Structure 1
Amino acid sequence: MSAVRKVWLLTLGAFTLGLDAYVMAGLLPVLADDMGTRVSLAGQLVTVFTLAYAISAPLVAGLLSGARPRLLILVALAVFTLGNGATALAPSLGALLAARVIAGAGAGVYSAMSTAAAAALVPGERRGRALALVMGGMSAGTVLGVPIGVLLAEHTGWRATMWLLTGLGALALAGLAALLPQVPSQPAVPLRARLGAVADRAVAPVVGVSFLAAVASLGLYTYLAPVLAAAGGVGEVAPYLWAWGAGGVLGSVLAGPLVDRGAAPRVLVGGVLVIIAVAQAALPSLAAAALPGAVVALVAWGAAGWAAQVPQQHRLLEVAGDRGTVALALNNSALYLGSAVGSALGGLALGAGLPADALPWAAAAVAAAGLVLHMAAGRRSRVAAGVSTLGSYEHS
């Protein structure tokens, strides 16, 4: 079995993760009604999943960085699948919260380890494509899986959607257990080195840019329905969610080949941040003037938002050295923390009376801040490289 086909097995698991991470928001009204609780309380299911995901990725991947990646991938996917099964069976909101913590913890570890494994399974010149396949799986879970999951819940109940997730996870687990080869493990990383990755001057700015991009992109996505309703009177938001998700799949797939063909990851990241900011800032006006224009903006925003992470992951693997798995785990945590922070800030802003159609401007400002950080980090890297080169010349 070729290396690329083995990466496709990892992609199936990533698809299930993408579906699980985003479908719960669409299930909240049905789930809250079934559980006899408020949507705001049921929304904490998203919060605990996200936090468990964000915390588990760097913690477990760092602590067990010397362990066999194949075993960690299988165990993490098994925990994720069991968590979804427990969610489907949960009799109360408390049991649901506990089940979502289990699923989120498994998802966080699987995401970090599968990304590192995908990069290790292929030659260096195909690393970008491998990373893009895994990211594409997650974005495909959003664009294809979420509408199907919500439709299934509307007709057969939210538990049926969770059983669908459980079945997909079990299918990916069986395939990986049978066909995934041993993946080269990285050297064990001491505690001081793991903590040092957070403050590493090469790693921290990259992770910071990922965090700000997630705040801007994934945070605003949560409130796309009220934004379009306020800006353009849109009542049926599903086609626009599909447009954003389709852009995400396109961006994820195209970013990998661009990196492999020599496109500088630093330049790609800067470009997609510009596209995110411009598309978000233009969205309210386009939605008010012509809805097809809003679709174009959403496709561009979705493509840029998802494409950013392929060159970001590529950069981290280059600059982190033997702490690559830890750096990727930190980056995945930054994405989910950024999504949670963006959603929370958007909710607070709307609660304080900010018009919904002003949210894209706020998100665009955050994307612009990410661009500033990205450019500043790039300038420091060039200066440091120049000093190093000068020192080498003087001592030669």
Structure 2
Amino acid sequence: MSYYKVIYLLALGEFMVGTTESIVTGIIGMIAKDTQVPLSLAGQLVTGFSLAFAFGSPLVIAFTASMERKKLLITVLLLFIAGNLLAFFSPNFSVLMASRILLGLSGGVYTVVALAVAANLAPPEKRGSSIGIILMGFSVSLVLGVPAGTIAGEMWGWRSVFAIIAALSIIPVLCISLYLPKLSGQKAIPLRTQLASLKNNRILTALLTSFLFVTGYSTVYTYITPLLQTTSGMSTAVVSTTLLLAGVASAVGSRIGGFATDKWGVRPTLYISLFLHAAILIILPFMAQLIFGAMITTMVWMCAVQMTVPAQQYYLITLSPQSSEIALSVNTSIFQLGLAAGAGVGGLILNHYSVAPLGWVGGASVFISLFLVWLSFSSEKTVTPTTVISK
């Protein structure tokens, strides 16, 4: 089998990881009701996953650096299946949280190793697009996985979603077992080396930009289902349709962001996408009072979010050309920390206020990230776009 087809098989596994990570946003109300916990506490299932992904997976990868990559991918996918089954059988919220930590850990390791394997399998001139294919698996999970999972949760209960993911995850396990060639491990990169990039002020500013814009996004998206249901009175079916359309818009936004970065450069792409992102979040509580307005606004918002990602990733590559993989690896962890922070902030808001302030607080966070982008570019001469890796 050609390397190209093998990479698509790896992307299938990433689709499962992406669906599991994001599905809580579609079934959060069902989980809170069934486990008898506040909605804000149920939202911390996103936090548990993200923190395990951000902090746990780099440590596991460091300890398993010399392990044969095919064996490692199969092992973490089997743990991923076990995590979904644990969620399905969980008798209480504490066990469910434990399952999310296991899922974040195994899913994080799979994502990073799959990206590295894709880069190693592809010829040098195709490595960027090969990495993009893996990340496309995550984008497609927003388009298909989350809406389908939300509908399944409404029909058969939220537990069924994790059972279905566990069953479908057997497919990439079998495909990797049959078709992925054996690949030796690599020398571990010391943690000191990975953190050395933080000494560069511009890289640190760029990473803080990633953290703030993802935090603003997560503050709202984690609770998007109750927000839409409360403000516009959407049914679960209409919410699922909205999330499906938003997923399509996010895929389109990723392509627009990549094209804009190549055509016009990083700076205008980040300025426009972040400004649009922040503005949409601020007006979302008002626009969401009507179903049609809620659907359109959510789609534009998700498009703007994904426009930022390829431009921001490319910017980090230009800031650290000699260690771009390390910079992108750190940025991935920063993204997960932002998701966790946003879920936590959103939970605090719901505990003390209503759903309306979610958009305002999230928008403020994105506006701050826009200011940081301006600061970062103020000390930069030029950035010439070349290769864009989109997610």
Q: Would you call these one fold, judging by a TM-score over 0.5? A: yes
Q: How does 1:44-83 map to 2 (within 5 A)?
A: 44-62=44-62, 64=64, 69-83=69-83
Q: Structure 2: which amino acid aligns with 1:141? A: S
In structure 2, relative to structure 1, the CA distance for the partners of 1:110 and 1:325 (3 Å cut) is: farther
Q: SS of the counterpart of 2:23?
A: helix
Q: C-alpha separation between the residues in 1 aligned to 2:38 and 2:333?
A: 28
What's the TM-score, normalizing by structure 2? 0.82
Shift of 1:151: 2.5
**Aligned-partner SS, 1:308:** helix
Structure 2 distance, partners of 1:326, 1:366, is: 26
Q: CA deviation at 1:52?
A: 1.0
Secondary structure at the counterpart of residue 379 of structure 2: helix
Aligned twin of 1:309: 309
Query: Which aligned pairs between 1:312-351 and structure 2 lie closer than 5 A?
Result: 312-320=312-320, 323-351=323-351
Preserved CA contact (<8 Å) 1:108 1:332: no
Measure how far apart 1:311 and its partner are.
Answer: 3.3
Residue among 218, 240, 247 paired with 1:245: 247
Say which SS state the counterpart of residue 189 (structure 1) adopts: coil
Report deviation, 1:81: 2.2
For residues 1-396 of structure 1, the aligned pairs below 5 Å read 1-31=1-31, 34-35=34-35, 42-62=42-62, 64=64, 69-123=69-123, 126-181=126-181, 188-228=188-228, 232=232, 234=234, 236-256=238-258, 264-288=265-289, 291-320=291-320, 323-353=323-353, 356-382=355-381
Bigger Rg over Cα: 1
**Cα distance, 1:217–1:32 mapped onto 2, change above 3 Å:** closer
| TM-score after normalising by structure 1 | 0.81
Q: Contact conserved, 1:83 with 1:102, CA < 8 A, in 2?
A: yes
CA distance in 2, matches of 1:12, 1:194: 28
Is the contact made by 2:70 and 2:183 (CA closer than 8 Å) also made in structure 1? yes
Cα distance in structure 2, aligned partners of 1:154 and 1:39? 17
Cα distance in structure 1, aligned partners of 2:308 and 2:69: 25
Report the Cα distance in structure 1 between the residues aligned to 2:25 and 2:273, rounded to whole angstroms.
26
Deviations 1:189-235 (A, max 9, x none): 22321232344435433322221121122321123345446655556
Contact 2:46/2:339 (CA < 8 Å) preserved in 1?
Answer: no
Q: Determine helix, strand or coil for the equivalent of 1:382.
A: coil
Query: Could you tell me whether the CA contact under 8 Å between 1:54 and 1:336 is conserved in 2?
Result: yes
Aligned residue type for 2:344: A
Deviations 1:57-111 (A, max 9, x none): 3333455556655554343333222222232233444433333221110111222
Deviation at 1:173, TM superposition (A): 2.1
Output the amino acid matched with 1:359: L
Mapped partners of 1:141, 1:278: distance in 2: 26
Counterparts of 1:25 and 1:319 in 2: how far apart (Å)? 34
Deviation at 1:34, TM superposition (A): 5.0
The residue type equivalent to 1:336 in the other structure is: Q
Q: Secondary structure at the match of 1:139?
A: helix
- What is the CA-CA distance between 1:20 and the residue it aligns to? 0.5
In structure 1, C-alpha distance between the alignment counterparts of 2:324 and 2:121, rounded to whole Å: 15
| Aligned-partner Cα distance in 1 for 2:317–2:71 | 21
Runs (5+) with no aligned partner, structure 1: 385-396
Report the identity percentage: 30
Change (3 A) 1:189 1:217: same
Worse-superposed segment, 309-318 or 205-214: 309-318
Q: In the TM superposition, what whole-angstrom CA distance separates every residue of 1:257-296 from its partner, at most 9, and x where no partner exists?
A: 666x5663454333321221233234344445x6544433
* Residues paired across the two proteins, number: 382
Q: Tell me the C-alpha RMSD between the 2 structures.
A: 3.4
Q: Within 1, Cα distance between the matches of 2:259 and 2:375?
A: 26
